[in-house]
Structure 1
């Protein structure tokens, strides 16, 4: 058998296994036939098999054929071992509780230990070495914590106890993070895959250009709108940057944006998709599991902050266009024409939003969304304006959905080890006390520490994993300082997204830089500036009533919204040094001071600072209109 035919044979197996996983997930979602102790090991075993097929140990282009195929044989051995471990754990007899007294039998202990090793290797291949190192540090703490100084010591657990707790229970690998990834998240990732293969994604991009293309800096504003529509569904800021950026970044450069600016705009907008309802990435579903709050409630309180984030990004985009003297696109498709050609693709989003708001099971909602997008694609094909739906698209969607879900499931399973160690050893209480002591009991200091921790963790962890780790460690400290549980989780959830746009490792910005032909670090700086909402809005969540809970009045909530708008306006104008026209240095300094005042003042006085911000900017608009010749860019 030749090298090419063997590769095709392995690709065929990969496609078959991936499609089978998606079909199995849909069947389980509809029937719920398998209990959690059976379903989760089966899901993870299937995921590990796919990882070792799709992510080879060695790259063929970097090694000779004999070396590469030796490595592939090793990968196939890992496939077999993964299947055996998953089968052993899924068929374990939990009704016989003697294992709690006498310990695990040898073969079960071996299967559990091997599963952890295989999971860490799969994590290394899909997510990176950093998360593996984080998990190993926590495992080492659980095993050898009794050898540490008394202030940070733990009991110190035997290897058998570790395997029993983290594999043969729902506290570690098979805990809440994997439970969400294996059910809800997988189905919504599959929904996103169907959107891509049916052409619905292109419709949302076209609609964004039709709405915003004719305005000043049109392609950049269209990029923000398209990313808001697609980002939450894609599940990955990097994937969204590459998908929409391949179209928007060249158009932004052609209009006059600098390459670094174009890459930064796309990265900031794509990252924002992760906090945009109705689907807010995997972390939001994990939040619902951790807090016990219905996802529909989380969705509702997330709408206004998400809109504020995109308004903040749009404001920066507009100010850049004003400074550069840019105009809109010379021609763009009319909105009604685009809607007439693809209105079918709006129906699945309307459906899943309505069902989520009505508190239907997220798994059922996701499956209904998958069915709806296929129906919409079929209707679009009947209109002869789009290619007819065919079986190849369905198979591709099923395969792509499974492969896109691999890093999420693996990361959540590994994050489950961290969560399990925190609970098993009592480390969470120690870290909470450490944060409170280090911050002196000051909320702003705790927020700063959590922000730094989020950026550092984000350098090597996916955003969902970073959220899981931070939530179990930092949320209790914020709650001790008076922040509600939902607000604390929302703050950590938002801050966990920042790694995609924050130097020195800003993966979404780097992806955009590759498309734009821009300097990676310059693109990261621009993305960081454009994504300021990821820092300003969580601060307002902490210091105001921006998260609407039962004890927040309507007047307090509206006041928080207006104050946040004033904060965004003041900060953006001060940083850019421009509004309707160039801002003098004293006015920029005054706006920065007012921005800090909006954060620091009590609720009853924030509106005063907000009014002063609006007054200063109104003066700038009046000056520009009274002497337009003084600033042609305006």
Structure 2
């Protein structure tokens, strides 16, 4: 959900260079006196954020200053419009989404160059981009000003309607190319072409076909295309939580949660890495962005992990895996979770409730890997003088807890997410202004608006293009056809279908942000999962989890590559390390399909499923790493692998056998185990 590097629910465009910012000199320097680390807010230059955003496209000089001022004005107007439409009911939802996308397109063409080469920043291209800004405003205002007339002639659009719609679709695809990358823009164009060429296609892909006038009118002027549910979610819930995250970051709340994580875990074996897991869970559960979480918390956690002895690629891999879990853990999760609730027509609170247990299991697995690595390599905790005191840390930032508690309470009380988000924003602003250390100036508020506007660009463009795909799928019936093909290819096997869905998600992840990958995959493959007997919410959650794999799975591994830039590590080695630590991302969806961890059973069944699932995950982790309390022998690793498979197979008997074998092998680890490393010894340099 953003230009993804600033701590909000955003996504980085595939193909963009990962952040290579060095850690701030003070990173990790929190002391026993309670001084919290201070975020180094994206060292992209000097001056306020809106000026730095303009400088990236327009360079230095008068033009850049003018564009920077315009950027601030547009960002503030954008935020105020969003706040007004959130607080006051009555505006047509189609009009609200059109105006939202207008702001997004204006900012994209104003701030995102057409290419990375010098010609894209030349004077002629500046004129072209400004022309595109004007055209974006025109094609957006056209349906707003002519809304009544468009509804009256919905079955017979005029040539002017079609021309405006076609230009708007081209602008959206170009904005997508600039913001996210060519793959998704190409995919959107392919689906538009598919809607037209259907009669000429062979076999199951064939359909009756539609005239281009019908395609344009359906995808741009109806609420089933560009301005459908995905963009509607981005224009309401997601924007509110992006603003909440930006406000939290600028007021210092992010620093507080990271300091709290280190106060709780820093003294234990592998303390800095455990602090990274806990800190990323706390921050990610609020911001809902894997890559943004990686580069913000990673600036503190990765240097500290390296300092105590974790290798560069392990430090970066731990941070990437932990940050990816932030999109799985309530209350905020990622943008896709809000889309899920809207597509299913259920309260967001229902999504939150079923997501909690799997997310905690995921973090438990990452935590276990961190502990195993620490014991395996003799890595202790932080020295006492480098650990923030819990009492001092809480005294410095306790007021940031109240808005989070309020947000969770409101969501679990079935208050609509948009309303809950607005209440949380108000509460956060109020508590931040009460204390001098977190009080925001007018310049700070300007940066909050600019940060929010920047971070919403990618998710809004992605959901707009995803709306094209969803609309074409509904128009042509492609989803049911592909689902039938998937079920046929898997020969009716649920396990093989899960494997095919995971592979399809990985392929889509090569070019799509995770939210867009989830939307596309659920409309294409979701019916196959429900056809095989999975409840709708389970099918959605499985696809949602698998859609996160592009953050940690080579060859893309966007979060891992971002972390490697901070750690100075090999992106490839970091990608494979993150892939290993994030094993729960691939295994837990299998438990969702075959057990009761999604709360779809009695209390006893749920407890047994969670305990058995964790035993299986432990077995896989120890088998993979070859260590728990001492090195595991080859036969022990083989048996652990077999016992893990048994736990994941459906059936109580196989579960009990797998649990018993794993318990016996874990008990053997206590023979000849290594003592836990001492914190004082945890000062070896990172390899």
The normalised TM-score by structure 1 is 0.95
Q: Which residue of 1 aligns with 2:365?
A: 312
Contact 2:347 2:416 in 1 (8 A): no
Establish whether residue 603 from structure 1 lines up as the match of residue 660 from structure 2. no
In 1, the alpha carbon distance for the partners of 2:366 and 2:675 equals 28
Which residues of 2 match residues 362-377 of structure 1 at below 5 A? 362-377=417-432
Q: Relative CO higher for 1 or 2, CA cutoff 8 Å, sep ≥ 6?
A: 2
- Paired position in structure 1 for 2:625: 576
Shift of 1:563: 1.2
Pair 1:603–1:470, CA change in 2 (3 A): farther
CA contact (8 A) 1:342 1:380 kept: no
Alignment deviations for residues 408-446 of structure 1 (CA, whole Å, 9 cap, x no partner): 111001001111111000001110110011000000100
Residue 264 (str. 1) matches residue 313 (str. 2): no
Shift of 1:234: 2.9
Find the aligned partners of 1:96 and 1:627 in 2 and give their Cα distance.
71
Q: Distance in 2 between matches of 1:579 and 1:78?
A: 59
Range 598-607 or range 113-122, more displaced: 598-607
Q: 1:1-12 residue pairs with structure 2 within 5 A?
A: 4-12=61-69
What do residues 252-300 of structure 1 show as CA deviations (whole Å, max 9, x unaligned)? 1111111110110111011110111000110000000111121111101
2:178 is matched with 125
- Quote the residue 2:505 is aligned against: 454
Q: Is the 8 A contact 1:559 1:607 kept in 2?
A: no
CA distance in 2, matches of 1:387, 1:47: 30
Distance in 2 between residues matched to 1:626 and 1:168, nearest whole Å: 67
1:440 aligns with 2:491: yes
Q: CA RMSD in A?
A: 1.9
Residue among 93, 105, 128 paired with 1:48: 105
TM-superposed CA distance for 1:493, in Å, is: 0.4
Give, in angstroms, the shift of residue 7 of structure 1. Answer: 1.0
| Alignment-derived partner of residue 271 in structure 2 | 218
Aligned residue among 411, 415, 420 for 2:471: 420
Contact 1:567 1:595 (8 Å CA) reproduced: yes
- Go from structure 1 to structure 2 and tell me whether the alpha carbon gap of 1:460 and 1:336 turns closer, same or farther (over 3 Å shift): same
1:302-451 maps to which residues of 2 (within 5 A)? 302-331=355-384, 332-381=387-436, 386-451=437-502
Corresponding residue for residue 166 of structure 1:
219
User: What is the CA deviation profile of residues 77-127 of structure 1, one whole-angstrom value per residue up to 9, with x for unaligned ones?
Assistant: 1111111111111233446655244x2112221111111101001111111
For the residues of structure 2 that align with 1:498 and 1:449, how far apart are their CA atoms?
A: 14
Number of the residue aligned with 1:478: 529
Select 2:86's aligned residue among 4, 26, 29. 29
Hey, what does 1:567 align to over in structure 2? 616
Deviations 1:471-530 (A, max 9, x none): 111111011111110111000000000111001111111111111111110000000000
The equivalent position to 1:136 in structure 2, one of 167, 173, 189, is 189
Q: How far apart, in 2, do the equivalents of 1:449 and 1:2 lie?
A: 46
**How many Å apart are 1:23 and its aligned residue?**
1.0
Tell me if structure 1 keeps the 8 A contact 2:230–2:467: yes
> Would the alpha carbon gap of residues 92 and 324 (structure 1) be closer, same or farther in structure 2, given more than 3 Å must change?
same
2:637 is equivalent to residue 588 of structure 1: yes
Alignment of 1:548 onto 2:599: yes
In structure 2, what is the Cα distance between the partners aligned to 1:77 and 1:364? 37
Q: Is 1:86 aligned with 2:143?
A: no
Residue 537 of structure 1 deviates from its aligned partner by: 0.5
Shift of 1:377: 1.2
TM-score (norm. length: structure 2): 0.88
> Would the alpha carbon gap of residues 18 and 97 (structure 1) be closer, same or farther in structure 2, given more than 3 Å must change?
closer
Is 1:467 matched up with 2:524?
no
1:185 to 224, 230, 238: 238
3-state secondary structure, aligned to 1:214: coil
CA deviation digits over 1:285-321, x for unaligned, max 9? Answer: 0000111121111101111111100000000011011
Aligned to 1:147: 200
Q: Any conservation in 2 of the 1:351–1:369 contact (CA below 8 Å)?
A: yes
Structure 2 partner of 1:20: 77
Unpaired segments ≥5 residues, structure 1:
none
Cα distance in 2 for residues equivalent to 1:603 and 1:492: 26
- Contact 2:176/2:465 (8 A) holds in 1: yes
Distance 2:580 2:599 in 1: 27
Q: What corresponds to 2:294 in structure 1?
A: 241
Question: Could you tell me how far apart the structure 2 residues matched to 1:192 and 1:372 are?
Answer: 13
- Equivalent residues of 2:269, 2:676 under 8 A apart: no
Structure with more of its chain in helix, by fraction: 1
1:74 correspondence with 2:74: no
SS in 2 for 1:56: coil
Cα distance in 2 for residues equivalent to 1:9 and 1:58: 22
SS at match of 1:275: coil
Give the secondary-structure state (helix, strand or coil) at the position aligned to 2:373.
Answer: helix
State the alpha-carbon separation in 2 of the partners of residues 590 and 173 from structure 1. Answer: 52
Distance 1:151 1:3 in 2: 55
- 1:76 to partner: Cα distance: 0.8
Q: In the comparison of the two structures, how many residue pairs are matched? A: 620
**Whole-Å separation in 2 of the counterparts to 1:354 and 1:127:** 35
Aligned to 2:13: none
Alpha-carbon shift at residue 64 of structure 1 (Å): 6.8
Deviations 1:114-153 (A, max 9, x none): 1110100111111111111111121111111111113210
Q: Which residue of 1 aligns with 2:45?
A: none
Shift of the alpha carbon at 1:58?
A: 4.8
